Amino acid sequence: MHSHGGPTIVDLPANTLQNKYQWRCLDTSTSPLHVKDCNNVPTQTKFVVEFLQQSYDDCRRPIRILGPEETILAWNMDDNTLLMNSTYNAKNTEWCYSESNFEDAVLVHPYGRPKDCLSAPIIDGDPVTVIPCLVPTVEQIQGITWTFLTTLPRKKHHSHRF
């Protein structure tokens, strides 16, 4: 089994949520998609991730992210579709997804992307969240919440004088 560190959820496979990022909260008081450090946020806002099909074998299955009252993000890799409630869309930006090798997980990150969001790559500094697929039953994933993760680590750039 591979491990990327990070928190795990009881009674789920150990590698389901393991990743190399630190966990953060979503602060809806400033911006619907503004990532804040959990230690500085009094109330944590989390999204619920659900599978829309009863049976699945891999990540190529529809998923959705639920907000306080309705679906925030719906994603179907088979149909290559990504639907988002625009009321949660900060600064006219888009949700994006990227195929990931984090233990059969799907990587999703908000804002800072052009209209062709579905083909936009993840770059250094992007806030991301990992949606896991390694769950044996639907019952085990329903009701579980994930917070947004911290931004990808920025590479150190060296300036050169010529």
**Residue 30 in domain:** yes
**Residue 141 in domain:** yes
Task: Tell me which residue range forms the domain holding 102.
Answer: 25-146
**Residue 37 in domain:** yes
Number of domains, the chain: 1
Which one of 26-35, 53-62, 107-116, 123-132 scores highest in mean pLDDT?
A: 123-132
Q: Which residues contact 57 (CB under 8 A, 6 or more apart)?
A: none
Each residue of 43-88: pLDDT tens digit?
Answer: 322 333 333 222 334 333 344 454 444 445 555 444 444 444 444 3
**Residue 153 in domain:** no
**Residue 99 in domain:** yes
In 10 A of CB 139, how many CB atoms? 8
Percent of the chain with pLDDT over 70: 0
Residue 129 has phi, psi (to 5 degrees) of: -135, 145
pTM of the predicted model as reported, rounded to 2 decimal places: 0.26
Each residue of 4-24: pLDDT tens digit?
Answer: 333 333 333 333 332 222 223
In 10 A of CB 65, how many CB atoms? 22
Mean pLDDT for the chain? 37
Q: How far apart are the first and last CA of the chain?
A: 48
**Beta-bridge mates of residue 96:** 109
Q: DSSP strand E in the chain: where?
A: 25-27, 34-36, 47-51, 63-66, 71-76, 81-84, 96-99, 106-109, 129-131, 145-146
Sheet with 63-66, edge to edge strand ranges? 81-84, 71-76, 63-66, 47-51, 145-146
Binned at pLDDT 50, 70 and 90, residue 31 comes out as very low
